[in-house]
């Protein structure tokens, strides 16, 4: 019987790690380590001005905080770059399943940008920050939700 290959992504706001599992009891093997600095040289398009909103009907307009807007745009660029690489690895590697574990704020951004192939193969997504854990610790933490 052919083993089930699983691609596992761990992420937070500024970094991500990609692992593979080649069957039950095989643990995780690290494939790649991403950092937000990987998108620094990319063509990231920032809005020229922060957005505006009105607090209530008939009230004046208020600008959003520039630092927060830039953080959101940088996070979006990072998420897109990580998912593009993850999608390419998934397609090339012939994986059967995809698992995503990320800090809650990052998980929402990842879900919003998830490519179709990864969305279809997604068997588990967890809103936890396991990025700094060793591969064996990640396997232990996920043991009650999925067998790796």
Burial class (CB in 10 A: 0-12, 13-18, 19+), 37: exposed
Indicate if the pLDDT at residue 135 is higher than 70: yes
Q: In whole angstroms, what is the distance from residue 18 CA to residue 78 CA?
A: 14
Q: Distance between CA atoms of 6 and 96, rounded to whole angstroms?
A: 6
- The domain spans of the chain are 6-142
Instruction: Give the number of other Cβ atoms within 10 Å of residue 63's Cβ.
Output: 11
pLDDT tens, position by position, 26-81: 999 999 998 866 655 555 454 555 555 555 565 566 555 555 556 677 788 889 99
- Closest by CA position to 125, among listed 98, 85, 148: 98
Average pLDDT, rounded, for the chain: 84
For the 6-142 domain, the top CATH level (class) is alpha beta
Q: What is the pLDDT of residue 53?
A: 58
Q: How far apart are CA 90 and CA 84, in angstroms?
A: 10
Under a CB-based contact definition with an 8 Å cutoff, are residues 142 and 128 in contact? no
């Amino acid at each position: 019987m052919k083993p089930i290959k699983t691609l596992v992504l761990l992420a937070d706001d500024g970094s991500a790690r990609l692992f593979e599992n080649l069957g039950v009891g095989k643990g995780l093997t690290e494939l790649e380590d991403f950092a937000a600095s990987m998108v620094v040289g990319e063509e990231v398009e920032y809005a020229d001005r922060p957005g505006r909103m009105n607090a209530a009907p008939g009230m004046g307009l208020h600008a959003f905080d520039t630092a927060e807007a830039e953080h959101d745009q940088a996070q979006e660029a990072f998420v897109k770059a990580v998912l593009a690489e993850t999608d390419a690895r998934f397609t090339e590697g012939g994986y059967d399943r995809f698992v995503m574990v990320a800090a809650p704020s990052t998980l929402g951004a990842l879900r919003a940008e998830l490519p179709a192939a990864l969305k279809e193969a997604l068997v588990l997504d967890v809103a936890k920050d396991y990025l700094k854990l060793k591969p064996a610790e990640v396997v232990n933490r996920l043991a009650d939700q999925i067998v790796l």
